[in-house]
Amino acid sequence: MKPVLMLCAGLLLMQPALANDPDSITQFNNSACNTPELTDPATSGIANHAQLDQKVRGCDRDNHIYWYEDQIQDIVGYIAQKYYNNFQ
């Protein structure tokens, strides 16, 4: 159980490092996500607004960073729930 708690704590502590990772920011700046057409349903080729919002959220610089945080929190929550259920 202790290694799992250490892993969860490590992932949570890693969040600021991911948010400030210059490589991910540079990669974002050079990506196709920086196209204005992405935000317009008429030109993006995506008819479903929910899908478009998800794609824009993944590409928007601020939300791009928060996406990593969301993923880490989901992973930590999954691991904690799995072990909690096993030890009840």
pLDDT in tens, 1-23: 566 666 666 655 555 554 555 55
pLDDT at site 30 = 46
To the nearest whole number, what is the mean pLDDT of the chain?
A: 59
Asked, for residue 50, whether it belongs to a domain, the answer is no
pLDDT at site 43 = 56
Crossing angle of the two packed helices 61-86 and 22-29, in degrees rounded to 10? 130
**Mean pLDDT on 52-58:** 54
Q: pLDDT at residue 79 above 50?
A: yes
Q: pLDDT at residue 60 above 70?
A: no
- Count structural domains, the chain: 1
Domain that holds residue 82: 61-88
Asked, for residue 12, whether it belongs to a domain, the answer is no
Instruction: Report the chain's terminal Cα–Cα distance, integer Å.
Output: 13
